[in-house]
Each structure stands twice: as C-alpha cells, then as structure tokens.
Structure 1
Amino acid sequence: MTQIHISIKKPRTGGLDPVTGTMRFRPVRRHFDAEKNLVIAASFDADLSESGELTVDLLPTTSAFVWQVIELADTPQAYTRYVEVPNSTHVVAYADLVEVDAGTFVPKDMAGSQLLKVRHASTQSEAETLSAQYPDELVFYPEGRAQTVASQILEDLTDARAVVEAQSAVAAQAANAAQAATAQVTAVADSITESKTAVESHASEAMTAIDEAVKSVQDKASDVTVEDNAETTAESTPDTTDAAADGSQEG
C-alpha cells in the first residue's frame, strides 16, 4: 500500500480555509493483485478532517488498472480524476499523482504520443521470434540469459579489438620500414646528385683548361708565323744601299 496525503482548501479574504467533505476512491477495472486476489471495481469513501486533510492507503496501480478519485463527492464541487499511484514507502502528495486518460491509462501530458508496447519472452530464441514478428514492440527475456549473451558479445568485441590492434602494429611496422626505405632512397638520390654536380664542375674546369691550352698553342703558333714571315721578307728585299753606291760611281 502507498499512503496518499490529500489537502483541500477554499479561498477567503486574506487566505485559505479548509474544506470538509467526502473523497471517493474506486479502482478502474477489475484486476488481480500481487497475491492473485481478484479485486473488483468497488468504491469506498473517506472523509476530510476539519483541517481539510486526509491520508489514505491505496494499492499501487499497474498496467491493469488506475484509481478513480471523486473529490467532494455528492456536492456541486465534485470533480473526478483518474490517477496512477506509485509503489512507495513514503507518503505521496495527492497533487503529485500522475493524471491519466480514463480509457487508455496514458498520462494526459502524453496525449497524442505513441505508446511503447512491451512483450516478454522466456528464451532468447523466443525473443528473437517475437522481435521479428512485432518489430515496433520491445521484447524482454530473462536477465541471466541476457547477461550471458552480453558477456559473449563483450568477449567477441575484446577479441576483435586484439586482432585490430595486432593488425595496426603490423601496419605501423610496415609504414616505418617504408619510411626508412624512402629515407635511404632519398639519401642515395642526394649522393648521386652531389656526384653529378662534382663531375659537371670538374668537366667545366677541364674544358676551361683545354680552351686555355688551345689558345696558348694558337698564340704561340701565331708568334712563330709572324717571325717566319719577317725573315722571308728580309731575304727577298735587294740591298738598295749597295746599288746606290754602285750607281754613283758610274756617273
């Protein structure tokens, strides 16, 4: 049983006054309780105290029934509510009870929402069958079996993770090897480039030296030619001084 505390007041100048009267309680729909008793939809009354308060024990509601509460029954102020009663060891305020629709038992603040439908199965295979048959409904089966399946799934995930980590390590080693090979190839390429540069530099120096040697030979050959030409000219020119002397003697 859950204790429900009710307090009803009426307005007056400067404050509130307590209200006295009768509260009527009736379970909506016949149902079976936890002890498998058939509980019929019969009502009972309880009176508010002089302070306008009442604490009443009510059966916690289930999916099979809710409570109908008629406030101030048989008076012009009578008002009917349909409420859920939680299973609580503490006193629950009447104002905190969830008000539901009388026909569907759906909380009024959820009007228009889609209901969550639940089914129960005794085994996993039965749950799988029901789940396939009713895809829009939630299917439960015993917790122990669910824990076993969850443990198996966790073990499979752990094994899969180990495989992935091993493959990642192999991939990392391959990447490191590839990086090392790339560095080695780069070093060889740099060495070849340096050798090529050195060869080209030496070739340029050799060509310069050859050009200078050729020029030197050409210069020397030119000097020799000039000297030979000078000697040849000297030999072919007559001695005009002697001829002049001879002529003066004849005249």
Structure 2
Amino acid sequence: MAEAMTNVHFSFKDAQGRPKAGTLHVAPVRRHISGSTVVVLGGFDVMLSADGTATVQLEPTDNTFAWKVSEFPDDTDSTFERVVQVPASSDTVEYTDLVDVDASTLAPALNTGAALTYLLASSLQEAQALSAANPGQMVFYPESGVKTVASQILEDLTSARAVVEDQSAVAAQAANAAQAASVGAQAASVQAADAVQAVSEQTAQVSSNAAAVQSVTDSINESKAVVESHANDALTAIDEAVKSVKDKASDATGDDKAETTADTTDAAADGSQEA
C-alpha cells in the first residue's frame, strides 16, 4: 500500500513584490527503505504559475532520506538550494515551514539561514537594556560583570539550597509524625474491630440465652396448662363425688323416716286390740 503524500505549497516573489516566474527542481537526497523494498525516487521539475505559486505532492521523509529543492536552477542570479524534511500531513504544508536538514547527516540544521549577529555592551546594565530591546540577538558584556552575576547567582543558589534543606527537614518531621499517627490510627482501628467483634459475640450469647429462657417459659406455660386442666378435672370429680354422697344421704334419711312411721302405726294397732 502506497504511503499518503503530503501537499507542499510554494510561493515566490521578486524583490519588488511581484510574482516570481520560473522553475524549481525537486529531487531526493539518498534512496530510502520502505519495509523490505529499496525506494529510488527520481527528481522532477516544478513550473511556477503566473502568480508565482505551485502545489506539489511529496512523499513524507524519515531519517533515511530528505528532499532537495533547487530554486530557479537556470537563473544564475537567483539560484538557491534547500534540503528539507517533509512531514506526513493531510493538510497542505507551506514550503517556508519545512525544516532544513544537513545534507550529509540529515539532522536538523542548527542555522535556518539567518545570519548570526550579536551586540556588545560595556556593562551589565547596558547588556540588560540591549537584551530587552533586542530579544532575538546575543549580547556580550565584560567578564567582570559576568563574574559579578555569577557570584550573585551562586549566592542565590546557596540561599535557595539552605531554604530547601530546611523545608526538607520540616517535611521529613511532618512525614514521621504522619507515619506515627497512621500507626496509631491502625492500632485504634484494630482495637475498635476487636471491640465490635466482642460486642457481636456477646449479643449472640444474649440472643442465645434469651432463646433458651423463652423455651423454658414456653415449657412452663405448657406444664401450667396441663396442671390447670388436671385440677379442673379433679374439682369436677370431687364435686360429683360430693353430690353423690349427698344424694345417698338423702335417700337413707327418707327410708328411716318411712320405717319409723310404719313402726308407730303397728304399735297403735296393737294397743287398740289390747284395749
């Protein structure tokens, strides 16, 4: 499967700001490896349009090759060369945004083309003012000023180190206190867990005792009911016995009265005969 290409946009103007017409020549620097295949790319020319622009599809580079662009190779007054990396991008990339690399090592070039300039100052104060006014340039000033600044920096670093050491000691003490508190909290947690376990066991024992008491109570209630039932039966039997006795006593009294009456009648009859 072919690798996706990146669109690179070129735009040129002359010194008067008019579109620059002409030809570009684009060629690879070195061949490169794609999987198990050696890819040999050929060079080609690019014609700028009337407005001095062109858009070209280039294969993204890696660390094995780069693209060399010869700008206007037939124009001896305007001939320049760049060796650039081309990133993998789905958007169009400007030619001016490409990173220049060294043609031999393919590593990014340390100088992007701008001339290295610097400013000289007679004192540290002047150097600071020049640096503030020219942030893109290097400023040099006498060595004595450098020594002064270095001494001040060293003193500041020493003070900062002392502060850091003090803060480190305080942090260590706080860490030790936190560790001791953590150990105490863990011990308290274990004790609390043991207390909860003991309460749970006592609760279980109380529940068991309550169940046993309830069982005994139920048994007593059952025995009471049986006793009451038997007592009622006994009272009923006694009442029946007493009634029976009373009935028999009443019958016996009636018989005696009848016999006494009969004896009196017989005696009277005998007396009448004798008379």
The TM-score by the shorter chain falls in which range? 0.3 to 0.5
Which has the higher Rg, Structure 1 or Structure 2?
2
> What's the TM-score, normalizing by structure 1?
0.46
Instruction: Judging by fraction of residues, say which structure has more helix.
Output: 2
Give the TM-score, by structure 2 length. Answer: 0.42
